[in-house]
A and B are shown apart, each in its own frame.
Chain A
Amino acid sequence: MAIERLFRRRRTRGEGREVPDLWIRCQACGSQLYKKDLEQNLGVCPHCGHHHRIPVEDWVRILADEGSFEAITGKVRPVDALSFVDTEPYPERLARYQQKTGRPDAIYGGRATIGGVKSVLLVMDYAFAGGSMGSVVGEEIARGAELAAREDRALVIVTASGGARMQEGALSLMQMAKTTMALEFVFQKRLPYVSILTHPTTGGVTASFATLADVILAEPDALIGFAGPRVIKQTIRQDLPEGFQRSEFLLKHGLLDAVVDRRKLKEELVRVLRLFSEDPDAA
């Protein structure tokens, strides 16, 4: 199961080979959890409800109807337009993430049905450079939106991102405008767009397509905002209020439609999508 890749494999001393550990500690409450249980619980701790990050393939498995998914991403590959070098050259950084995730950039998605509703489902991959949006993520989202419009599909995007990708400079910034404008075709055809914000979603992704959805759902306790908490703390030189920028806080401030437990997410998403349809049974 893909979820296993999430958890570090423990090196057995002396033997020099890796064996998967059957147990894992909850990142929030520290409970010892049987990995299979956690997996069956969609990465949600049965004790404290903490939502652990899950691989993008698992998101597809959770949301898409079985056997309905057909990938559309993966053909667009990043390039180093700025010849960017920080502590390492950008191409090397990219190669490392590509090796780690097995995909060209921080996005995965395709055609799917969700509760029978024809959709385009896109999922951001936080494991790839913190889910940062550069030209490829921007292009895939724009193409996904255009495909949804062309084929009369709902658009569903699961976000997880630290924001725009610094290594592509102003070109990354422009993806905020590009993705926003591509959504226009979805809206013009009166197709539903639902975004699902997961931990964390900040910066240029929050300040563009992610928050322009007709319906914005978020996972519990996800950090969502424009600036990161560290930057804000530096600016105001004060401690941040309890729960600041977390889903529940944002719901109270009128910025989200609902905070949804991952185990209920598919059911709620289907209800929402069907409420956009004149004839929900036709799907």
Chain B
Amino acid sequence: MPLEFERPLVELEEKIRALEATAREQNLDLSDEIELLKGKLERLQREIFAGLTPWQRVQVARAPGRPTTLDVAERIFEDFYELRGDRAFADDPAIVGGLARFAGRRVVFVGHQKGRNTKENIARNFGMPHPEGYRKAMRLMDLADREGVPFLAFIDTPGAYPGVSAEERGQAWVIARSIQRMSRLRVPAVAVILGEGGSGGALAIGVGNRVLILENAWYSVISPESCAAILWRDAKEAERAAAALKLTARDLLELGVVDRIVPEPGGGAHKNPEGAIRELESALLAVLRELEGLSPEELWQDRYRKFRALGAFEES
């Protein structure tokens, strides 16, 4: 199902496909016409995506087909081995992670994992972790530290799961611990917001020396729907809330919350996940190279300085 604002693009795509079929069936040379339409499609795509509202970007960030953590892992790592379980209670399928080799170097990675279809999404709880998920993430942070290898975190969650069992097992406590554990890393830590960066559940694995964000991803203190429900008492005001929260990649770069925007190919990462992952791969390599010259102590200090400076206030 295309997103509302993608309809003109879908129509053009259909036209192109129809022309291609005609050319094939009737053995005609329609390549000029087809090229013309393809050019038009590209221009229109660029135009539409350049003018997306924050709320429309939230839709793109949630679109099925967007690269998930495992999609990224499968394509950018030479090899990876998933490690499971928190060694205390359960394995949380909403968070994945493990050992990997990235551009020749060893790394440890972790990430929220949404499903690629409805069935998988239910199994993965729509990427909303329970406490055991964050405990698994912390276990992997321990491992990265001990091995002295970079830690990569991929963020894509509507938020930590707000349920009875999650609360009973200390959701808030474990998120706080995870923030603390990640901030203490003595290895290069890079966080990437792939799609949705929903509140504390995202920040729990977001304390990177560098924080990257895909062009159409969002990151904020609350989802637009919940914000609207609280401030306007109407979840339908999500569009206004999305604009008010300044949750887009460009806004976040301006606020200093993220360090770098990873461009998405025309039509968004869900249209061309391979293209988006290639861009991400080169951005990740670039920031890792920046960090790899720093000592363990400098890495901690770099992260502390970055987060200590975030906030807006005046002094009287």
Query: Residues on A close to B: CB < 8 A?
Result: 75-79, 81-82, 84-87, 104, 134-136, 138-139, 142, 164-166, 168-178, 180-184, 202-204, 206-212, 224-227, 231-232, 235-236, 238, 240-241, 244-245, 253-255
CA distance A77 to B315 in the complex (A): 6
CA distance A84 to B310 in the complex (A): 18
Encoded as 1 (CB less than 8 Å from any A CB) or 0, chain B from 208 to 246 comes to 000000000001111000110011100000001100111
Contact assessment for A226 and B162 in the assembled complex, using a CB-CB cutoff below 8 Å:
yes
Contact assessment for A204 and B200 in the assembled complex, using a CB-CB cutoff below 8 Å:
yes
Q: Which of B40-96 contact A (CB under 8 A)?
A: none
- Pick the contact of B245: A82, A224, A226 (CB < 8 A): A82
Interface centre among B175, B200, B207, B313 (most CB of A within 10 A): B313
CA distance A78 to B175 in the complex (A): 26
Interface centre among B183, B232, B303 (most CB of A within 10 A): B183
The reply to whether the CB of B194 lies closer than 8 angstroms to some CB of chain A is no
A/B interface sample: 14 pairs, CB < 8 A: A75-B315, A77-B315, A79-B314, A86-B240, A142-B308, A169-B255, A175-B310, A177-B307, A180-B180, A182-B308, A207-B171, A208-B179, A212-B180, A253-B169
- A75 CB to closest chain B CB (Å) equals 6
Contacts of B180 in A (CB 8 A): 180, 183, 212
CA distance A95 to B312 in the complex (A): 17
Contact assessment for B310 and A171 in the assembled complex, using a CB-CB cutoff below 8 Å:
yes
CA distance A113 to B265 in the complex (A): 60
Contact assessment for A166 and B313 in the assembled complex, using a CB-CB cutoff below 8 Å:
no
Contacts of B203 in A (CB 8 A): 173-174, 176-177
CA distance A212 to B170 in the complex (A): 12
The reply to whether the CB of B252 lies closer than 8 angstroms to some CB of chain A is yes
- Pick the contact of A244: B164, B199, B245, B315 (CB < 8 A): B164
Contacts of B170 in A (CB 8 A): 211, 253-255
Encoded as 1 (CB less than 8 Å from any A CB) or 0, chain B from 153 to 193 comes to 00000001111101111111101110110011000000000
Q: Which 10 A-B pairs have the closest CB atoms?
A: A227-B162, A135-B311, A81-B312, A206-B172, A226-B172, A174-B310, A86-B231, A226-B171, A207-B175, A207-B172
Contact assessment for B171 and A87 in the assembled complex, using a CB-CB cutoff below 8 Å:
no
- B93 CB to closest chain A CB (Å) equals 18
The reply to whether the CB of B257 lies closer than 8 angstroms to some CB of chain A is yes
Interface centre among A86, A175, A227 (most CB of B within 10 A): A227
The reply to whether the CB of B247 lies closer than 8 angstroms to some CB of chain A is yes
- A167 CB to closest chain B CB (Å) equals 8
Beyond A182-B308, A227-B171, 6 additional contacts (C-beta under 8 Å) are: A76-B313, A82-B244, A164-B199, A171-B311, A207-B179, A226-B200
CA distance A181 to B170 in the complex (A): 20
Count A-B contacts at CB 8 Å.
190
User: Which residue of chain A has the shortest Cβ distance to B200 in the bound complex?
Assistant: A207
CA distance A170 to B247 in the complex (A): 7
Query: Residues on B close to A: CB < 8 A?
Result: 160-164, 166-173, 175-177, 179-180, 183-184, 199-200, 203-204, 206-207, 219-222, 226-227, 230-232, 240-241, 244-247, 252, 255, 257, 303-304, 307-308, 310-316
Contacts of A255 in B (CB 8 A): 170, 173
Contacts A169-B221, A178-B308 known; A139 to B313 CB distance under 8 Å?
A: yes
Contact assessment for A180 and B164 in the assembled complex, using a CB-CB cutoff below 8 Å:
no
CA distance A272 to B293 in the complex (A): 44
Contact assessment for B221 and A178 in the assembled complex, using a CB-CB cutoff below 8 Å:
no
Contact assessment for A181 and B304 in the assembled complex, using a CB-CB cutoff below 8 Å:
yes
Contacts of A224 in B (CB 8 A): 172
CA distance A203 to B161 in the complex (A): 12
Contact assessment for B169 and A232 in the assembled complex, using a CB-CB cutoff below 8 Å:
no
Contact assessment for B226 and A231 in the assembled complex, using a CB-CB cutoff below 8 Å:
yes
Contacts of A171 in B (CB 8 A): 255, 257, 310-312
Contact assessment for A170 and B226 in the assembled complex, using a CB-CB cutoff below 8 Å:
no
- B199 CB to closest chain A CB (Å) equals 6
CA distance A171 to B221 in the complex (A): 8
Contacts of B199 in A (CB 8 A): 164, 173, 204
CA distance A203 to B199 in the complex (A): 9
CA distance A164 to B308 in the complex (A): 17
Contact assessment for A225 and B313 in the assembled complex, using a CB-CB cutoff below 8 Å:
no
CA distance A114 to B247 in the complex (A): 42
CA distance A202 to B200 in the complex (A): 12
CA distance A189 to B168 in the complex (A): 32
CA distance A79 to B162 in the complex (A): 31
Contact assessment for B231 and A227 in the assembled complex, using a CB-CB cutoff below 8 Å:
no
Contacts of A206 in B (CB 8 A): 172-173, 176
Contacts of B220 in A (CB 8 A): 169-170, 173
- A85 CB to closest chain B CB (Å) equals 7
Contacts of A173 in B (CB 8 A): 199-200, 203, 219-221, 257
User: Which residue of chain B has the shortest Cβ distance to A228 in the bound complex?
Assistant: B162
Contact assessment for A166 and B227 in the assembled complex, using a CB-CB cutoff below 8 Å:
yes
- B125 CB to closest chain A CB (Å) equals 11
Contacts of A104 in B (CB 8 A): 316
Contacts of A225 in B (CB 8 A): 167, 171-172
User: Which residue of chain A has the shortest Cβ distance to B182 in the bound complex?
Assistant: A177
CA distance A178 to B232 in the complex (A): 29
Contact assessment for B167 and A170 in the assembled complex, using a CB-CB cutoff below 8 Å:
no
